[in-house]
Chain A
Amino acid sequence: MLVGRGCGPSHCLWGRDLGREVKRMEKTKVEIAIFFCTHLRARVQGILKGSSGSGADRFRPVALPCSGKLEVFQLTRALESGADGVALFGCPEDACRYLAGSLRARGRVGHTVRILEEIGLGKDRVRRFVVETQPEQDLLQDFSGWVERVRAMDRFRKNHDGKVRNSTPAAEGEGRA
């Protein structure tokens, strides 16, 4: 994200090559926490392997017995502890082996998304992917697209004291008057 016009290297008041900084920000790596139902392990592993070229530095997968096990606090705390986005892979609601697990997961993810939207962190940071019988390529495309949207969002950074603060990529490259 650029703030202001791109002046170009020779015109930048602060001597910075803003063009180069934008390129660097575009390739900034993100940390994605991935929770998945254990019955989808093979498919999720395939997606993660296929996504490794999209620039995401750190995928942190955690297997669950059912996507319905995930609590709201696990989603929010994952963001708090440094993840830029959280993905939940679950089974279709009528195919959940715990009967209501997927339905429950839908509700909890929805609740978390509303909280994030309300506090201004962006509703697309937490996303639920329902793994049906769609081709892996479609799911991979969907997931990769979401990762790119997360990459474009504000990044969580940690201060020297370890506390997370919000920072915009542009703020790091922005000149001060």
Chain B
Amino acid sequence: MPKKYHLKPKTALSRSVPLGPFGIIEGDGCLNCSKCVKKACAYEVYQKRAYDAQQMTDTADSLCKNCFRCVQECYARILSKSANPEYWSMGDDYWTPEIIGTNQRQAESGKIPVSGGGYGGPFAGPGFDSMWTDMSEIVRPTRDGIHGREYISTAMELGRACQPAAFMSSFGPEGGGKSGGSPRVEISVPFLFDLLPFQDSTPAVLAAVARAAKEVNTLMVLPAESIAGELAFWAWHLVPLLPPGNLGRFIPLIQQCRMVQILADDEAPKRIEEIKGYRAEAIVSVRLPLTPRAEEKVEFLLESGVEVIHLLADEKGRELEASTPQFIKDRIRNIHQLLVKKGERDRVTLIGGGGIALAEHVAKAIICGADAVSIDRPLLVSLECRLCGQCKKGESCPVGVGNIEPGWGRQRAVNLVAAWHGQLLEVLGAMGMRDVRRLRGEMGRAIFREDIERETFGQIFGERANIHRPAAQHVQQGEEVRVLAT
């Protein structure tokens, strides 16, 4: 019986004090009560309170659980809470502070985030929040649960599916018994590690993420020029992005790596042929920006024999070069359905990247038709990055991401993958599915808010503008900090 895929998360404490969403303000006029509410704090926030020299903040702000007991019970009414502007200015309107915070907590503990107080929302919104996934089988749990003997597989194979004709010709009377199918790579989770948008040339960060890719058995995309020294040791789990031009100096890499990646340009067919000449078993993936012309390019690449197409939206999941960009889930849906109609869906693996911020986005992207997704920013967030972009401006990183110890960084990334893997199992188990590959293109297992709007309310009210309201208003530079209830 094959060994069951199991990740070993281990607590990897944050190096810096995580920012809390709210801060405690203490006024003047303390009565020095003998029964001070600070001593009664159930979380011992005031006893554990300290000064964080690195961020020059009061650690009580991050320890506090916002139960408001001290605020309510203080006789002098000197305690109050307020939004912490440092927290609310993290990230942007897509990569919200909540997303950054939850991913960091998952990277610390490796556990599925559970608040204990139920899910507070958002229940709808733009992007992936406009999809609701099937949970119909959640009331029919298996005897051992989703982690038991009825194993749920999250493994995914990259490459062209074995075609029936090739199979028959291989195993028929004249086939000689050898499989004539295309090369395939199996990864244990349906997400790859993509090019990092920040800290992409920091050796410690790259080493940490590469080690994590090996440990979780997935692939990491890296510029081919940066694969040297320690990184070359993990070539089996790396996907070198080959630059345009002469490939001669990258032949050793092509021969070591299971998959390579090239840019989608007019030279792509020639380069695919060249790479196959160096090593026939190497899978060639093409990095294709998700533009309004993506369908045309997919068809062109299919004719060239490409095995994997890596579709890339921007960091917020939006289509590129479009005046009214669609979201990545809608574009993947279109491309998947186009290929299905042509009967060519199994000739190519689709990987979707850009805007994958939470574990649920993985399942939703697969439902829309992707075979796998690629993640970049979540990996940096797991290393405590706040997506402030200061490193790109040449300023110093507020949390020193570049100075991480690679072993610690590896564990943080593994913890994040473990938490996301656990959530994927929950989603699949709730659908009664035992294999993530069966989820691909299963759009009947989701409700799309736009479709419901059009089919129901649209017939009564006509098309409504702004059906998607952002869950929380992100603070802009110089604006007040406001947190809207959903």
Contacts and interface: CB of A to CB of B under 8 A. Distances in A.
B280 interface: no
B25 A77 contact: no
B480 interface: yes
Interface in A38-56: 38-39, 41-42, 45
Nearest to B80: A98
A78 interface: yes
Contact of B27 (A45, A64, A100): A100
Contact of B25 (A45, A63, A68): A68
Contacts of B82: 65-66, 69, 98
Given A68-B27, A100-B27, A63 B85 contact: yes
Contact of A62 (B25, B57, B481): B57
A101 interface: yes
Nearest to B60: A71
Given A38-B85, A69-B23, A104-B28, A62 B56 contact: yes
Contacts of A45: 477-478
Given A42-B477, A98-B82, A107-B28, A62 B55 contact: yes
A137 interface: no
Given A65-B85, A100-B27, A81 B478 contact: no
Interface size range of chain A in the complex: 20 to 34
Nearest to B481: A38
Contacts of A80: 53
Contacts of A69: 23, 25, 82
Contacts of B57: 62, 74
B199 interface: no
Interface residues of B, number: 22
B217 to A, nearest CB: 42
A106 B58 CA distance: 19
B467 interface: no
A113 to B, nearest CB: 17
Which DSSP category, helix, strand, loop or mixed, fits chain B's interface?
Answer: loop
B86 interface: yes
B56 A78 contact: yes
Contact of B51 (A77, A82, A107): A77
A101 B25 contact: yes
Contacts of A65: 23, 25, 82-85, 481
B84 A77 contact: no
Interface in A81-118: 81-82, 98, 100-101, 104, 107
A65 B481 CA distance: 8
Contacts of B481: 38, 65
B230 interface: no
Contacts of A107: 28
A45 B481 CA distance: 17
Nearest to A101: B25
A74 B26 contact: no
Interface string B460-486: 000000000000000101101100000
Contacts of A101: 25
Nearest to A63: B85
A153 B58 CA distance: 27
Given A39-B480, A107-B28, A64 B51 contact: no
A66 B83 CA distance: 10
A23 to B, nearest CB: 27
Interface of B: 23, 25-28, 51, 53, 55-58, 82-86, 89, 475, 477-478, 480-481
Interface of A: 33, 35, 38-39, 41-42, 45, 60, 62-66, 68-69, 71, 73-74, 77-78, 80-82, 98, 100-101, 104, 107
